[in-house]
Amino acid sequence: MDGRKRSNIKPGQLVHIVQKQDQRTGELTEGYVGRILTKSPQHPHGIKVKLETGEVGRVKEILEED
């Protein structure tokens, strides 16, 4: 699913984010959404979220849980 639309993202969902310091390398961090930080309905670089572990970044992928 598309991580650029706020309506696709819900707290507790498993996602891959790219953190600010990893933007050059594109390294992804996996975790569960704690809070959605972006207020607008969409963002071209991905919706900014805070994971339950405290990391902040933009959603690149929304993962399906098995």
Fold entry, domain 6-62: SH3 type barrels. (2.30.30)
pLDDT digit string, tens, across residues 18-62: 999 999 999 999 999 999 999 999 999 999 999 999 999 999 999
Predicted TM-score of the model (pTM): 0.92
17-54 burial code (b ≥16 CB/10 A, e <16): bbeeeeeeeeeebebebbebebeeeebeebbbbbbeee
Q: Where are the domains of the chain?
A: 6-62
Please tell me the predicted confidence (pLDDT) of residue 56: 98
